[in-house]
Amino acid sequence: MANLLEKLSMGRLGKHRPLVNVLRLTGVVGAAGPVRSGLTMARLAAQIERAFAPKRLEAVALAVNCPGGSPVQSALIAQRIRDLAEEKEVEVVAFTEDVAASGGYWLACAADRIYANESSIVGSIGVVSAGFGFPEAIKRFGIERRVHTSGERKVMLDPFNPEKPEEVERLKRLQAEIHESFKELVRKRRGERLKADEETLFSGEFWTGKRALELGLVDGIGELRRVMRERYGDKVRLKVIEGPKAWWRRGAPRGLGEFLPDSEGLAGGLIAAVEERALWSRYGL
């Protein structure tokens, strides 16, 4: 009787189907404004917890389609995945889609094994800061810039002032520290599987999935469903762990202002959308 109850609890009288939860990591890492939601620890925390929650769980698959973004949020998300994987003793397998570059590759490194499509864009292990300068524009339109600070370095790299070499040097030092953290993560997670010198791997260059395999940045060429079936059998269950709904899908609004961002928030969202588009465009997407 006890054995029968155990089989019933597994479902279909012992015909237990292996379960693999799928966690989709799609978009830019970091807050993207009120209209577009980026990948952040705050937004993904509950979703990650649900992915590792089942007792009978064979693996968690990460479907990564990310051109990069915030190094801090990349590190927080990847660390939460690793902590739960070790706590639950569950294998994590990443699958890169169009792109897993920069912060996207950081996320993929949370997995025990990484698979890519031959044409996926992989790598870009580096740090970038980009912006615009407008010192001549405000002069042309007769605009006076008024900034009052306490602290001589409070306003650094102000886009409305000429760029100063010493401020650029400070920025480069910060970038070097963040880059070293990124490199250390890749060394730790990929180890002896890396097949190229660090000057090549950590230059910020990116490659196709086929070339990334040769460099040791990924473990194989394959698609999520096929690889999981090869590893766990044709009966494997692939369950996508849904994230929070977009603001326009949360049901009928009680009032129009409930879901519509204010003009300032909307402007910020539009700027974020442009920046996101530029980030994807770096990889020809």
Question: Distance between CA 115 and CA 71 in Å, rounded?
Answer: 22
Q: What is the pLDDT of residue 13?
A: 38
Q: Angle 243-15-18 (CA atoms, 0-180°, nearest 5)?
A: 35
Q: Which of 220, 123, 107 is nearest to 228 (CA)?
A: 220
Segment holding 15, helix H or strand E? none
Q: Is the pLDDT of residue 104 over 60?
A: yes
Q: What percent of the chain has pLDDT over 90?
A: 56
Q: Considering only residues 175 and 210, tell me which one the structure prediction assigns the higher pLDDT.
A: 210
Most confident of 36-45, 103-112, 125-134, 275-284: 103-112
Question: Distance between CA 113 and CA 105 in Å, rounded?
Answer: 12
Q: What is the pLDDT of residue 187?
A: 96
Q: How many residues does the chain have?
A: 285
Q: Which of 55, 68, 53 is nearest to 23 (CA)?
A: 53
Question: Distance between CA 27 and CA 70 in Å, rounded?
Answer: 12
Average pLDDT of the residues of the chain = 81
Question: Distance between CA 36 and CA 273 in Å, rounded?
Answer: 7
Measure the CA dihedral 202/157/69/78, to 10°.
70
Q: Is the pLDDT of residue 272 over 60?
A: no
Q: What is the pLDDT of residue 244?
A: 65
Q: Which residues contact 241 (CB under 8 A, 6 or more apart)?
A: 21, 22, 23, 24, 47, 50, 51
Q: Is the pLDDT of residue 57 over 80?
A: yes
Model's pTM, two decimal places?
0.78
Q: What percent of the chain has pLDDT over 70?
A: 66
Structure tokens of 97?
Answer: 């889609």
Q: In Å, what is the CA distance from 99 to each residue of 24, 165, 180? A: 13, 34, 22
Query: Which amino acid appears at position 102 of this protein?
Result: S
DSSP letter for 255, please.
S
Measure the CA dihedral 69/74/77/79, to 10°.
180
- 3-state secondary structure at position 110: coil
User: Contact 208/120 with Cβ under 8 angstroms?
Assistant: yes
Residue with tokens 């990334």: 212
Tell me the pLDDT tens digit for each residue of 178-199. Answer: 899 999 999 999 999 999 999 9
Q: Is the pLDDT of residue 2 over 60?
A: no
Q: What is the pLDDT of residue 174?
A: 83
Where do the domains of the chain lie, and which CATH numbers do they carry?
16-126+183-281 (3.90.226.10)
Count of other CB atoms within 10 angstroms of residue 205: 13
Question: Distance between CA 116 and CA 132 in Å, rounded?
Answer: 35
Choice among 102-116, 158-172, 257-271 with the minimum mean pLDDT = 257-271
